[in-house]
Amino acid sequence: MAKRIDVSGLSAYYGSAKAIEDISMTVEPRSVTAFIGPSGCGKSTFLRTLNRMHEVIPNAHVEGKVMLDDENLYASGVDPVAVRRTVGMVFQRPNPFPTMSIYDNVAAGLKLNGMRRKGDLDTLVEKSLKGANLWNEVKDRLNKPGAGLSGGQQQRLCIARAIAVEPQVLLMDEPCSALDPISTLAIEDLIGELKERFTIVIVTHNMQQAARVSDRTAFFNLAAVGQPGRLIEIDETERIFSNPSVQATEDYISGRFG
Ligand SMILES: Nc1ncnc2c1ncn2[C@@H]1O[C@H](COP(=O)(O)OP(=O)(O)OP(=O)(O)O)[C@@H](O)[C@H]1O
Ligand SMILES: [Mg+2]
């Protein structure tokens, strides 16, 4: 089931450099939250702290708390691998496992979770590919390599792979930035469907996309180059785009900077 995220006092570092500072926000279940803001303000960094991917980078660390319902993802004893299973991620560049078939790309995570029976795997692979709106295009070539699909199809394959293991939260870092407009619309439609089951957070540089797909929008900014990024405001998307509380948000969305 989709879970609520509650972040408090979160800062993230690369070595001694603080990339984001003192971020607090909540994300409601079964909703889409968009992260917007100029390049370098820490959107990707913050996204990666939500499933403990940040600490994979050498010398990187996180301060603060990320609650997923009643569990602090940073409490001692929490297994980061289990966190990443619960909080899935889709990246900017579609990254299917290149030598694996379409089928195996989707089945890989299920197998890692111990699913062995072919019948069970078949059912879930089909369900995930249907969930990602890709089934009809690939059902006759499931054993062909994932790398042989178009960019938009590969991104939907990555979404199928991510949802196959039934995460509760899906993080997407500019998932459409490498795609053509038709594939982009396909992914946006898909996000609208997925939010009935998942809690979704998406980073985007496309203001129209944020306005189209998200329920709430968070604007991040940095005071100056070299300063850590901060959350400036988060609100209903409609409000952020019509009547934001902070002048910097208004300037950004109306294209006056960034
Ligand atoms: N692996 C890393 N090692 C060191 N510093 C990093 C690393 N990744 C990001 N940074 C720094 O952290 C800050 C925030 O970067 P981040 O990638 O989170 O920004 P962003 O908002 O996602 O930008 P963009 O819109 O360009 O993707 C930047 O100053 C960046 O240089
Ligand atoms: Mg980024």
The answer to whether position 53 is within a domain reads yes
In this structure, are residues 49 and 25 in contact, taking their beta carbons and an 8 Å threshold?
A: no
Asked whether the whole model's pTM tops 0.85, one would answer yes
What pLDDT, on a 0 to 100 scale, did the predictor assign at position 178? 86
Residue located nearest, by CA, to atom 11 of ligand 1: 19
Residue located nearest, by CA, to atom 1 of ligand 1: 57
pLDDT band at residue 179 under the 50/70/90 scheme: confident
The answer to whether position 148 is within a domain reads no
**CATH number, domain containing residue 20:** 3.40.50.300
Q: What is the CA(111)–ligand 2 centre distance, in A?
A: 30
Q: Is the pLDDT of residue 1 over 70?
A: no
Q: Is the pLDDT of residue 171 over 90?
A: yes
Residue located nearest, by CA, to atom 9 of ligand 1: 45
Q: Output 1 or 183, whichever has higher pLDDT.
A: 183
Q: Average the pLDDT over 53-65 and give the result.
A: 97
What pLDDT, on a 0 to 100 scale, did the predictor assign at position 167? 92
Rounded distance between C-alpha atoms, residue 102 and residue 154, angstroms: 9
Q: Average the pLDDT over 95-122 and give the result.
A: 95
Neighbours of ion ligand 2 (CB under 5 A): 44
Q: What is the CA(209)–ligand 1 centre distance, in A?
A: 22
Across the chain, mean pLDDT equals 95
The answer to whether position 144 is within a domain reads no
The answer to whether position 117 is within a domain reads no
Which has the closest alpha carbon to 68: 137, 170, 144? 170
Q: Is the pLDDT of residue 170 over 70?
A: yes
Q: Is the pLDDT of residue 257 over 90?
A: no
Percent of the chain exceeding pLDDT 90 equals 91
Q: What is the CA(53)–ligand 1 centre distance, in A?
A: 13
In this structure, are residues 240 and 221 in contact, taking their beta carbons and an 8 Å threshold?
A: no
DSSP state of 228: P
- Region of 105 (left: φ > 0; alpha: ψ -120 to 50; beta: rest) is alpha
- Give me the number of domains the chain comprises: 1
The answer to whether position 156 is within a domain reads no
Percent of the chain exceeding pLDDT 70 equals 98
Ligand 1: nearest atom to the Cα of 203: 22
The whole domain housing 213 covers: 5-100+170-253
The answer to whether position 159 is within a domain reads no
The answer to whether position 125 is within a domain reads no
Residue located nearest, by CA, to atom 5 of ligand 1: 14
Let me know the angle formed at the C-alpha of 96 by 150 and 73, rounded to the nearest 5 degrees.
Answer: 135
Give residue-wise pLDDT tens across range 202-226: 999 999 999 999 999 999 999 999 9
The answer to whether position 107 is within a domain reads no
Ligand 1: nearest atom to the Cα of 220: 21
Give residue-wise pLDDT tens across range 10-55: 999 999 999 999 999 999 999 999 999 999 999 999 999 999 999 9
pLDDT band at residue 153 under the 50/70/90 scheme: very high
What pLDDT, on a 0 to 100 scale, did the predictor assign at position 180? 87
